[in-house]
């Protein structure tokens, strides 16, 4: 890290400490948004509000050839914190357990650098502080608002702290990187009866067990083995007492894949399978599917450019079955999403995203800012008094 980055280090760390203490759910990030607005104002960066709590900031270039956007998500999770981070959440039941406090801190750090007298900004830089990434998907609202067109965004970059990669490394891949996802509910309308007289009822739990196993055969027997797909039923609710045949049962799950064609086929086969089970038991089974985020697909040209800039810090990773609403931006303009490694066994930073114990070394923030600056410098979009080492 060069001396220029060192000058903003403590401010970046303090930004994280402040934001980490005020985690808020999607579309309710009012304290977070106010803190960010005040910080941008103190740096002299103009901004506008979108979708109530979202912020679009603009640093104008002196001779812009293009507009480059960076996105940071600002919402938190309904998780009670158990991490060893020095500044705990002050909002009971909520925590920045997915690193969004870090993402905001990196983007504020970038704004800090680019507003210094030592920085010459050539291209227009747009900074998107986006609400509701964890749900219901704030990126879609921002894209639909026309913000990307209004600012003439040519390309966009997203970043995510990731404990699946060693600290100091950057993980990414060309093309599909994160899965599209959907949620589904299955309601089995069966018939309750006394446990000693099962023949007088229709056992919803037995049917649910059959469905739980049978649905897995759709992925294993109806989809080509080379097409990744995951169907997970994570919650089953049914039954009243140990001696009562269960009536109605609800099953809740998710569906993930990288292909719209595979996704549609899975949904179709789920419907036909469940209709068959319902007919066999002479009951009603209701299936409700909610399409969520599209797949994150990295632009190949942006990947190649970034890979060359990053050098030996870059690590080629396999596509991940987790999802991200950054995908909505990529449907509108070329985009690149990448992971900043945070796994550090020595410091105990080994817990996964969404864990109540998730934490990372503050130096990970500087790795992210360094990647931003390195990218912009290589493109000729900015010029700093000192080059990134």
Catalytic residue among 51, 101, 134, 324: 134
Cα 162–chain centre separation? 11
Between the alpha carbon of residue 80 and those of residues 22, 74, 96, 162, 342, the distances in Å are: 13, 18, 10, 20, 21
Establish whether the linkage from the previous residue to 136 is cis, with ω within 30° of 0: yes
Q: Which residue reads 């410091």 in tokens?
A: 347
Task: Indicate if 73 belongs to the active site.
Answer: yes
**CB-CB contact of 260 with 327 (8 Å):** no
Catalytic residue among 73, 75, 123, 325: 73
Using only the alpha carbons of the chain, give its radius of gyration: 24
Burial 185-200 (b: 16+ CB within 10 A, else e): ebebebbbbeeeeeee
Residues recognised as catalytic:
73, 134
């Amino acid at each position: 890290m060069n001396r220029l980055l060192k000058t903003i280090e403590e401010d970046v760390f303090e930004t994280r400490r402040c934001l980490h203490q005020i985690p808020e759910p999607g579309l309710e990030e009012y304290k977070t948004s106010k803190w960010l607005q005040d910080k941008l104002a103190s740096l002299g960066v103009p901004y506008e509000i979108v979708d109530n709590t979202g912020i679009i900031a603009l640093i104008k270039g002196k001779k812009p050839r293009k507009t480059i956007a960076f996105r940071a998500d600002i919402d938190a999770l309904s998780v009670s914190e158990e991490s060893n981070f020095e500044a705990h959440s002050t909002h009971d039941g909520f925590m920045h357990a997915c690193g969004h406090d870090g993402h905001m801190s990196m983007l504020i750090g970038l704004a800090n650098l680019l507003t210094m007298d030592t920085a010459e900004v050539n291209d227009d830089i747009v900074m998107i502080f986006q609400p509701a990434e964890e749900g219901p998907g704030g990126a879609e609202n921002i894209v639909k608002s026309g913000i990307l067109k209004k600012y003439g965004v040519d390309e966009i970059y997203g970043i995510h702290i990731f404990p699946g990669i060693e600290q100091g490394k950057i993980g990414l891949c060309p093309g599909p990187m994160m899965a599209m996802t959907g949620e589904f509910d299955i309601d089995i309308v069966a018939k309750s009866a006394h446990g000693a007289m099962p023949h007088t009822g229709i056992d919803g739990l037995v049917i649910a067990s059959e469905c739980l196993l049978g649905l897995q055969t759709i992925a294993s027997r109806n989809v080509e083995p080379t097409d990744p797909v995951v169907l997970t039923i994570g919650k089953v609710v049914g039954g009243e007492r140990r001696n009562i045949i269960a009536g109605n049962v609800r099953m809740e799950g998710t569906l993930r894949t990288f292909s719209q064609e595979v996704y549609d086929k899975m949904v179709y086969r789920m419907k036909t399978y469940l209709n068959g089970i319902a007919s066999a038991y002479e009951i009603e089974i209701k299936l409700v599917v909610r399409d969520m985020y599209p797949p994150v697909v990295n632009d190949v040209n942006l990947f190649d450019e970034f890979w060359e800039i990053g050098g030996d810090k870059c690590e080629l990773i396999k596509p991940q079955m987790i999802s991200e609403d950054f995908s909505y931006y990529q449907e509108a303009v070329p985009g690149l999403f990448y992971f900043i490694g945070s796994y550090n066994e020595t410091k105990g930073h080994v817990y996964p995203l969404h864990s109540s114990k998730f934490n990372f070394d503050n130096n990970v923030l500087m790795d992210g800012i360094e990647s931003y600056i390195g990218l912009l410098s290589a493109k000729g979009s900015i010029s700093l008094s000192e080059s990134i080492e």
